[in-house]
Every structure is written in structure tokens, then in C-alpha cells.
Chain A
Amino acid sequence: MIRVIDLHKAFGPNKVLRGVNLTVSKGETMVVIGQSGSGKSVLLKLMIGLLKPDAGRIAIDDEDITRLNDEALQRITKKFGLLFQGSALFDSMTVAENVRFGLERHTCYSPAEMDELVAESLARVGLSGVENLMPHQLSGGMKKRVGLARAIAYRPEIMLYDEPSTGIDPIRADAINDLINKLKAEMGVTSVVITHDMASSYKVADRIAMLFDGRIIEEGTPDEIKRSQNPVVQQFIHGKAEGPIKTY
């Protein structure tokens, strides 16, 4: 379970998060939507301890991670699988070594079992047969899927997806939606999904939260979001240029 309480984060004068409150229950998929630059990626990085908040608390399974030292924080990362918005593959390693990296550090499987898990994770994202390629030999969408395979390989309890379908063709993107749902159904994974794609939000979300102006301004099931009275939410989910959010 993830509980975010009154979270503040600024970069210099740029106050990105100004009191975010959000709870993601165990086994639930929470989709976070919001404009580009609204701080969604920052929120994810705060959840896993890559950034330190200015104020507020983040509890993972009732453990406040904002008070942990580096060593303890590192232990917590084992629970998380993080898909980076920009994939963040290790460019000096092959695809297989990338996927294996987390297995070697977070688990105690034998080398043979790890090989199997690497192959299985790559198969899950539809990328069998690229094990020995280097990241620079992959297309953008393939990198994203290797990043996903790397994050799910060691079977984390919590998955954080930063725009899993951006840069991926619609058929693959839908396959990834299925994968997100499957991980939830098979292993009870708790997920936070950031996306701009409303169709995929409706498909994977148990609940949707909208981040705007540094706060969560609306939160509810997909149906509740669709029926929201908030004009900002309506403008966003219908993708209108006109409305309360100024585009320029």
C-alpha cells in the first residue's frame, strides 16, 4: 500500500507539488493523469525515494520512507519495479544483462533460474530473440518494453509505470494494458500508472487521480471521473484546447 500525505516538492522557485494526498490500496491500479510538466514523474520518483520531498510523508506498507537512510531506502526498492519514462536502459549492457540486473541484486535465484526469468520477462513484453542486442540497436518502443521487462523481472509487489504506452504502436500499447491487468490478477501487484492515453486509463484503472496545480484535484473510479463536474477534469479527459486550462 502507498500513502502519500501532504507532499511538497520544489525545484528552486518552481513549486511542483504543493500538498499531494493520495492513497493506493494493495492490489489496486491507480492511474495518475495530468498535463505535461505537472509533476507526475516527480511524484513517482518521490514514491521510490529517488527524490527527497521538501515536506510531507510517503508510507509504503506503513513504513515512512522519507525518514529512511540510503541503506534502508535501498532495501525498500526491492518492493518496487519502476518503468522510466525514458526507459533508462544501461547502454553499456546487452538487453539480457539489463533485464538480469535487478534479478542479481534483488533476488537469490540460481543463474539458470535467472536466465529463465529473463527470457520469460522478455517474452511477456513480446521481445523474444533480442537478448544479445545493445540498447542503441533498439527502436524507442522496443527500449520502453525492455525497460518494462527489466522492471517486472524480479516480480516486485508494486509497479510504477511512467507512461508505459507512449512511443509504442497502438497494438503493442494495448498488449501492455493487458500485461498490467494480468500482473494485477496473477500476482496482486499494486500499480501506479502515469499516462496521457485516456482509453488505456479506462482499461487498466481501478481509480484515476488527476494532478493539477501541484495537487490532486479529482480522484475516483473511471466512471466517477467521466462524470466529474470539475471543468478542468472535463477539459483534460476530452482533450480540448479550450477551457479553464490555458494552452498558451
Chain B
Amino acid sequence: MAGLVKGSFLLSFLEQLGEVGLLFFKTLQNLFKKPREHRIFLRELEEIGVRSLPVISLTAAFGGLVFGLQTYVGFHRYIGPGSEAYGGPIISLGLSKELIPILVGLMVSGRVGSSMAAEIGTMKITEQIDALFSLGANPIRYLVVPRVLAAFFMLPCLTLYGDIIGIFCGYFYNVVLMGVNRIIYLQNTLRYLELWDVASGLIKASVFGLVIATIGCWQGLKAEGGAEGVGRATTRTVVLASISILILNFFLSKALPATL
């Protein structure tokens, strides 16, 4: 009995993975086909990028602050007073490689992934997707491609922006609030932080963008059964996208080289 339950769980997991994979494959197939939906692409760039700025600003700022705080505590306790200025590169590395891409991914899952699922799901249950098809618009090309592309381009931009805010806030906590030596802090940061640290975080963010948009569109397109179905699609999108981001993040960190 337990084996049966486990078996069907694994089966449905594989089935769902297949569904997303197929959607992603179809999206790639339609990537360069005409007509291109510029208007929707631009609208999504704005929706994902510009409208996420306030949330990203806040989360990156407090992420930077708290990371700065604990790094300070760590150096102060284990190496001793005066050594805190060596925390600069660690803060910048941790933020740009791990914390900011993950925060951006999670925030965008909640803000944008869910709204993609809700919007497309509503279109699905009100037959608007059928109407698209009957009026000559390929739903994948019209709905999915512009969203996936916009997320792919916008997440690195948001992450870079978050890096700047977060690293500045780490600096602000240590140098301005705790009186750490400004020159040594900056010198160390500039000497040990590599361009690749930031770049690898941006690469991760792009992958997260693909994951969020693909899951949101997939859940929207398979929504069924009225308002409840749309609600379920949005919840599932946030849960699935968040989990996928955290899991993928580990494997990407492992796969991407530490330095170039």
C-alpha cells in the first residue's frame, strides 16, 4: 500500500516534470517565430522589472544589513576587534553569489509568477485561450514566449540592482553604524571580490527567471474548474517555483566554478 502511494507519487512527479519540460521545449521552438509580440514583451518587462523595484530594494537592503551584522559579529567574536574590516569581501561575495539572486527569485515568484498563473488561468477558464487559437494566435507564442523572455532578461537586471543596494547596506552597517575602518573595508572588498562572483549570480538569476515564468505559464494553461482552479494554480506556482529555485540554486552553485 505504502509502496503504491509512493509509486503513484513518483509517477505524477515525473508526469508533471514532463509537462513543464514539454512546455519549455515548445517555448524554445516558438522563440524566433513570427509574429513577435513586442507589446506584451515590453509590458512584461515593465511588470517584472520596474514594478518589482520597490520590493527588491527593501529585501536587498535588509538582506545586506543583516548579512553585514552577522559578519561583523563573527569576525569580532572569533578573530577579534579590528578584524571586522576583513568582512567586506565576504559580505559582497555572499550577497552577489547567493543571497540576492535567491531573494530576487523568491520575490519575483510571489509577485510575478503568481500573477502570470492567475492571468493565464483566468483566460483559460473563460475560453480566451481557445479564442486566441481560433483567431490565429498561437497561445505559446502569444502568451508564454514574451513572459519567459522578459523574465530571462529582467531577473539579472533586478539582481544586479539588488547587489548594489545589498552591498552598499552591508558597507553602511559596518562602516557607518559600527565604525569599521572604511579604507581597509573598501580595499579588501575591491581586492577580493571578482567580476565573476557578480556574473555567476546573474547567470543564476536568468535561470530562475526561466523557471518562474515557465512554471507560472504552465500552471495557468492547465488551470481548470473556475475561480478555485485559478487560485490553486497561483498557489502552486509560488510553492513550486520557490522550491525549484532553492534546489536549483544549490546545484548551480556546485556546477558554476568558484572563480574563472
Chain A residues with a Cβ under 8 A of chain B: 45, 48-50, 70, 74, 77-78, 80, 82, 84, 86, 88-91, 101-102, 105-106, 150
A88 touching B136, Cβ below 8 Å: no
B127 touching A84, Cβ below 8 Å: yes
How many A-B residue contacts, CB cutoff 8 Å? 48
Chain B residues with a Cβ under 8 A of chain A: 35, 122-123, 126-128, 130-138
B133 touching A86, Cβ below 8 Å: no
B130 touching A88, Cβ below 8 Å: yes
A86 touching B127, Cβ below 8 Å: yes
List residues of chain B with CB within 8 A of the CB of A77: 133-136
| A92 (CB) vs chain B CBs: closest residue | B119
List residues of chain A with CB within 8 A of the CB of B126: 86, 88, 91
List residues of chain A with CB within 8 A of the CB of B130: 45, 50, 84, 88
Given contact pairs A70-B138, A105-B137, enumerate 11 new A-B contacts (beta carbons under 8 Å). Answer: A50-B130, A50-B133, A50-B134, A74-B138, A82-B134, A84-B127, A86-B126, A88-B126, A89-B128, A89-B131, A91-B128
B137 touching A88, Cβ below 8 Å: no
A215→B26 CA distance, assembly (Å): 36
B136 touching A106, Cβ below 8 Å: yes
B138 touching A90, Cβ below 8 Å: no
CB distance from B225 to the nearest CB of A (A): 13
CB distance from A30 to the nearest CB of B (A): 19
A105 touching B127, Cβ below 8 Å: no
B131 touching A74, Cβ below 8 Å: no
- Which of A82, A84, A88, A105 is most buried by chain B, counting CB atoms within 10 A of its CB? A88
Neighbour of A90 across the interface among B35, B128, B133, B136, CB < 8 A: B128
List residues of chain B with CB within 8 A of the CB of A88: 126-128, 130-131
A211→B228 CA distance, assembly (Å): 32
A101→B39 CA distance, assembly (Å): 14
List residues of chain B with CB within 8 A of the CB of A74: 133, 136, 138
CB distance from B223 to the nearest CB of A (A): 15
| A51 (CB) vs chain B CBs: closest residue | B130
B135 touching A102, Cβ below 8 Å: yes
A90 touching B131, Cβ below 8 Å: yes
A106→B136 CA distance, assembly (Å): 6
| B136 (CB) vs chain A CBs: closest residue | A105
List residues of chain A with CB within 8 A of the CB of B136: 74, 77-78, 102, 105-106
